[in-house]
Chains A and B, each alone.
Chain A
Amino acid sequence: DSGVTQTPKHLITATGQRVTLRCSPRSGDLSVYWYQQSLDQGLQFLIQYYNGEERAKGNILERFSAQQFPDLHSELNLSSLELGDSALYFCASSATRANYGYTFGSGTRLTVV
């Protein structure tokens, strides 16, 4: 157990639907990062939150949004889902700076049918 908890582990949904992925960071970590892993694109950085505030944005689609709550857990919302959104979505956390290294959760596998 890495200390980063992601739920659900698997999600199957239809095109056009909306889903929410949840992440609880390791105790004491203030930064949360979301990554999308697919066979063709590899690991793509989506967005980072630090202590409740958006810190950095990567290749995140406008249909996707995220937030970090006062208890530091984070949610990634994916809407108007398309087949191409099928992927593994990872959450990672770190203490304060990225150079400390990330602790990853086990991921949420999203399948859009």
Chain B
Amino acid sequence: AQSVTQLGSHVSVSEGALVLLRCNYSSSVPPYLFWYVQYPNQGLQLLLKYTSAATLVKGINGFEAEFKKSETSFHLTKPSAHMSDAAEYFCAVSPSGNTPLVFGKGTRLSVIA
């Protein structure tokens, strides 16, 4: 069965520093991969998605993620953290376009002024 592992339940960075949130997946077929963000008391919002086109995917709010098949990874990065980036981030996988998304446990990002 497909699964997603997010390393680090809580990541803390200084404002202006690099953001790196890790995601590794297991899937028997080339997957579809997603990053979602959840702000307090809100639903999840799609940040970006990988659907087998370019391996480097650019999303909203300056985030991007790189699909690395050899490492089964899809890490999320942002060059410079902003206070407004503080939220919970979820990585998700779907092994085929028709299979419901499986989410990781989430990583809470804190940004320190």
A residues apposed to B, CB below 8 Å: 2, 4, 33, 35, 42-43, 45, 48, 55-56, 58, 90, 92, 97-107
Contact = CB atoms under 8 A, between A and B. Distances in A.
Given A45-B102, A99-B32, A104 B45 contact: yes
Interface stretch (B11-19, B67-75, B79-87, B90-98): B90-98
18 contacts: A33-B101, A43-B106, A45-B100, A45-B101, A55-B98, A92-B44, A98-B32, A98-B97, A98-B99, A99-B49, A99-B97, A100-B97, A102-B101, A104-B36, A104-B45, A106-B41, A106-B43, A107-B43
Nearest to A40: B105
Contacts of A101: 34, 46, 49
Contacts, number: 58
Contact of A33 (B41, B49, B98, B100): B100
Nearest to B104: A42
Which of the four size classes fits the interface of chain B?
Answer: 20 to 34
A10 B33 CA distance: 31
A46 to B, nearest CB: 9
Contact of B94 (A2, A4, A55, A98): A98
B98 A90 contact: no
Given A48-B100, A104-B45, A107-B43, 17 more contacts: A2-B43, A4-B43, A33-B100, A42-B103, A42-B104, A45-B101, A55-B98, A98-B98, A99-B49, A99-B51, A99-B94, A101-B46, A102-B101, A104-B43, A105-B43, A106-B42, A106-B43
A69 B104 CA distance: 30
Contacts of B51: 99
A42 B97 contact: no
Nearest to B43: A104
Contacts of A35: 103
A35 B103 CA distance: 10
B53 to A, nearest CB: 11
What are the nearest 7 A-B pairs in CB distance? A104-B43, A99-B97, A97-B97, A43-B103, A99-B32, A104-B44, A42-B105
